[in-house]
Structure 1
Amino acid sequence: MSFRKALLAATVLAMPATAMAQAPFQPVTGLYIAGGAGVNWLMDRDLEAQGGNRNYFNTTGARSYGETRQDTGWGGVGSLGWGFGNGVRLEIEGNYRQNEVDKIGGFGGPRVTSAFRNNGGDIRQYGAMANIFYDLVIPRFPLPVQPYIGGGVGYVWTEYDGVRGTRQPGGSNSIVIDDTDGRFAWQGIAGVAYPIAAAPGLALTLEYRYMGTLEPKLDGRVVNPAGATVSRGTFKADPAENHSVMIGLRYAFNTPRPAPAPVVAPAPAAAPAPARTYLVFFDFDRADLTDRARQIIAEAAQAVTSTGTTRIEVAGHADRSGTPQYNQRLSMR
């Protein structure tokens, strides 16, 4: 193989690998949609009883503060965005998170235990956010992914659905919170996107999200074992702190399709050289090769490599001098 052909072949083989290495770093341009879901951790939340019987369970004048602890829950997001082609993206997001209440404590005086039983209910958070992202370009990043960071602000409603805790021991009154309140919210996001080569524009995403809200105020009450309301008031909850890990998909509509790798047509096979006849002459009454005869035989041997001929015919002739028997032996020699 010539050096020129070898260089051309190496260039063609290298092109797909180069294009594949650059694919993860193409910035998002134009409209895109994204969505994801995963686990959500809602941190413990303090509750302050306001209004009504501030002590709720006792008459000792103790401060009426309590706390809820939540199980690991889940959440999901969906968004519509626009990429500017320079790494900056803007999007509008809808989100939802849900955690089940595991324990309720507090709201007790110095002589009364703060333990509760029959805890339950769900805390849901849902709302809309406006986000801004920046796709990072990190030289020699060791993984074929596109890191990005972002943040956003918006409005989130906090819903306490059937949140309930019954005092034990020292009575069996129960706290019941069933209300919804909306507040300003914010979030920070860090993630990576892994482009799917088989579907240009489609990427798998993995994100960590932190979301917080201002303190919601929720109507609540205390009921006795018969279900009658003992006291009504408002619970002021601490700012929400959510930590989420989500897996999702993102699709950019205007991602250019990769150009097909150029197909190099094989060089046409050289046409075989036409078969030739090589004549070797001998001196009179001699069978040994002359210098010119050896040169012609060398040319014939060299020509075999390019003609593709696989059939060789050799014929020897003598003149009419001498007897036929002698001439036969001479021609064979």
Structure 2
Amino acid sequence: MRLRTALLAMTAMATAPSLAVAGTITGPYVNIGGGYNLVQTQHGRFSPTTQADGSESNSQTKSRYRHKNGFTGFGAAGWGFGNGLRAEVEGVYNYSEINHRRGTAVTGRTSGSDQAYGGFVNVLYDIDLARFGINAPVTPFVGVGAGYLWQHYNPITTSYSNGNVNRVGGTQGSFAYQGIVGAAYDIPHVPGLAVTTEYRFVGQTFADGPYQSTAWNRTGVHKGNVNFDHRFSHQFILGLRYAFDTAPPPPPPTPVMATPAPTVARTYLVFFDWDRANLTGRAREIVAQTAQASTHVQTTRIEVDGYTDNSAAHPGARGQRYNMGLSIRRAQSVKAELIRDGVPAAAIDIHGYGEAKPLVATGPNTREPQNRRVEIILK
């Protein structure tokens, strides 16, 4: 027990969990991004009084507006629940050029733009690839959002070949929704910082009659309404995200009396982030030291024992079963790293003990960094 305590004192600070990374976020985070905004062709229905196409017809006319280049930008603040789920509040701005209009009786040239601003509440889920045995600095995610956008049409002007002119403008707010697919890429040596890439599909509904249409022709000025159908956008975004760590740091090690240290340790400790089984850079260094030490001392077997703290994403017996499986996955990760470091697989025994045998006694459902560990014992 004294040897275990001494090893803990030497390695606790170096192997304690780092700041949250792009995988499973626990606690607050912020996110900004921007990119290309491609809006699908929209259909507008004009009231008869506007004579929007330059003709003398008194029937309602319809036109299709084609969008050209556009951009989008957003800022978000959210909270990760440690199990892959995240919730966030987002403010967004969209812009799109409008350069063509079809479906009119007379040809003409169209120019203008529109913009939208508002916000969404998003719910997202990070897919932890480590659960599938993939150790990569990338985490895919999916999500949905609902919110409200104010859509403003800057004057969209159509000048017809017969000299008539039509102009559309106005602002309206309406319900909006979005689907999100993306991935986060860890920034090396900067814990918590990640580059994100996303595709978003954004839809917006409109009520009838909010936009104004004005036509100038030989009979005078004609004003009325124009109604647009649903608006759909495809967005391709590059962003930057930073996750803050809310987990308390491990307590300082208990002072121990100085005792003669053996030349080579027989027991080594590797620590893990909460609900994770992948090895940190420091953990790989300790495993490499263990593999090297096994060649310098008389070793017949290497025992790899995995443990968890007593917190779990699920209550009761279900959580205990989950932690038992998590402790085995941690032991398997260490074994795989020992093999990569040259230790024969036949010389390694692994065991998972779940919540049993904690290093630090805690109350129920407590996240204790020092209990999330693997002990490597040279025998």
Q: Which band: TM-score by shorter chain? A: 0.5 to 0.7
| Rg comparison, structure with higher value | 1
Within-5 A mapping of 1:1-333: 26-50=23-47, 52-53=49-50, 57-108=54-105, 113=106, 115-117=107-109, 119-138=110-129, 139-141=132-134, 144-168=137-161, 171-215=162-206, 217-224=210-217, 230-254=221-245, 260=282
Which range moved further: 119-128 or 99-108?
99-108
Aligned CA distance change for structure 1 residues 259 and 143 (closer, same or farther; 3 Å)? closer
In structure 1, stretches of 5+ residues that fail to align are 1-11, 268-333
Quote how far apart the aligned CAs of 1:90 are.
0.4
Q: Answer yes or no: is the 8 Å Cα contact 1:158–1:181 preserved in 2.
A: yes
Q: Answer yes or no: is the 8 Å Cα contact 1:190–1:208 preserved in 2.
A: yes
Quote how far apart the aligned CAs of 1:144 are.
3.2
Q: Answer yes or no: is the 8 Å Cα contact 2:50–2:213 preserved in 1.
A: no
Cα RMSD for the two superposed structures: 3.2
Q: Answer yes or no: is the 8 Å Cα contact 1:69–1:101 preserved in 2.
A: yes
Secondary structure in structure 1 of the residue aligned to 2:191? coil
Quote how far apart the aligned CAs of 1:54 are.
5.5
Give the Cα separation in 1 of the matches to 2:148 and 2:87. 17
Question: Any runs of at least 4 consecutive aligned residues in structure 1 with deviations exceeding 6 A, and if so which?
Answer: 255-259
Aligned CA distance change for structure 1 residues 143 and 238 (closer, same or farther; 3 Å)? farther
- Report Cα offsets for 1:278-316 as digits up to 9, x if no partner: xxxxxxxxxxxxxxxxxxxxxxxxxxxxxxxxxxxxxxx
Quote how far apart the aligned CAs of 1:63 are.
3.9
Give the Cα separation in 2 of the matches to 1:26 and 1:167. 56
Structure 1 vs Structure 2: percent identity of aligned residues?
32
Aligned partner letter, 1:211 = V
Aligned partner letter, 1:29 = T
Q: Answer yes or no: is the 8 Å Cα contact 1:24–1:194 preserved in 2.
A: no
Aligned CA distance change for structure 1 residues 116 and 84 (closer, same or farther; 3 Å)? same
Q: Answer yes or no: is the 8 Å Cα contact 2:70–2:96 preserved in 1.
A: yes
Number of aligned pairs?
240
Aligned CA distance change for structure 1 residues 123 and 162 (closer, same or farther; 3 Å)? same
Aligned partner letter, 1:214 = T
- Report Cα offsets for 1:48-82 as digits up to 9, x if no partner: 01263456522335540011111121111110101
TM-score (norm 2): 0.57
Q: Answer yes or no: is the 8 Å Cα contact 1:55–1:62 preserved in 2.
A: no
Aligned partner letter, 2:137 = P
Which range moved further: 155-164 or 229-238?
229-238
Secondary structure in structure 2 of the residue aligned to 1:72? strand
Give the Cα separation in 1 of the matches to 2:127 and 2:224. 49
* 2:330 paired residue number: none
Secondary structure in structure 2 of the residue aligned to 1:52? helix
Aligned partner letter, 1:116 = G
In structure 2, stretches of 5+ residues that fail to align are 1-10, 250-279, 294-379
Quote how far apart the aligned CAs of 1:224 are.
4.2
Aligned CA distance change for structure 1 residues 162 and 141 (closer, same or farther; 3 Å)? farther
TM-score (norm 1): 0.64
Aligned partner letter, 1:223 = W
Secondary structure in structure 2 of the residue aligned to 1:215? coil
Secondary structure in structure 1 of the residue aligned to 2:189? coil
Quote how far apart the aligned CAs of 1:106 are.
2.1
Secondary structure in structure 1 of the residue aligned to 2:150? strand
Aligned CA distance change for structure 1 residues 60 and 176 (closer, same or farther; 3 Å)? closer
Aligned CA distance change for structure 1 residues 75 and 93 (closer, same or farther; 3 Å)? same
Aligned partner letter, 2:141 = Y
- Report Cα offsets for 1:7-26 as digits up to 9, x if no partner: xxxxx9xx99xx99xx9674
